[in-house]
């Protein structure tokens, strides 16, 4: 898989979160903390599964803890993708 950029990851996350919340993607700030979003645990697990399918690998379970905003998680995803692409 080609490496995902931070911008691509951010756009993907915002689109999926907006869909789950039933709002326009423009209403989801990349600076908002995940715990401030009105996602229940089931929706969060579904989102994590969709993200893993999209990326082709499983994210560390602590990823959201250490990267608590859309922007931070997107940067982490880009780093992980770049490392995995370099390792292949």
What's the rounded Cα separation, in Å, for the pair 5 and 86? 14
CATH class for the domain made up of 6-87: mainly alpha
What's the rounded Cα separation, in Å, for the pair 75 and 29? 15
Task: Tell me, yes or no, if the pTM score tops 0.85.
Answer: yes
Q: Which residue has the tokens 């600076």?
A: 31
45-77 residue pLDDT tens: 888 889 999 999 988 878 888 899 999 999 999
Domain boundaries, the chain: 6-87
Residue 80 in contact with residue 88, Cβ under 8 Å?
A: no
What's the rounded Cα separation, in Å, for the pair 7 and 34? 18
């Amino acid at each position: 898989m080609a490496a995902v950029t931070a911008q691509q990851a951010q756009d993907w996350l915002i689109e999926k979160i907006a869909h789950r919340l039933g709002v326009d993607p423009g209403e989801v700030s990349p600076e908002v903390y995940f715990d401030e979003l009105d996602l229940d645990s089931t929706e969060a697990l579904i989102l994590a599964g969709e993200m893993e399918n999209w990326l082709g690998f499983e994210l560390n379970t602590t990823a959201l803890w250490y990267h608590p905003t859309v922007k931070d998680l997107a940067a982490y995803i880009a780093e992980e993708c770049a490392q995995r692409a370099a390792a292949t």
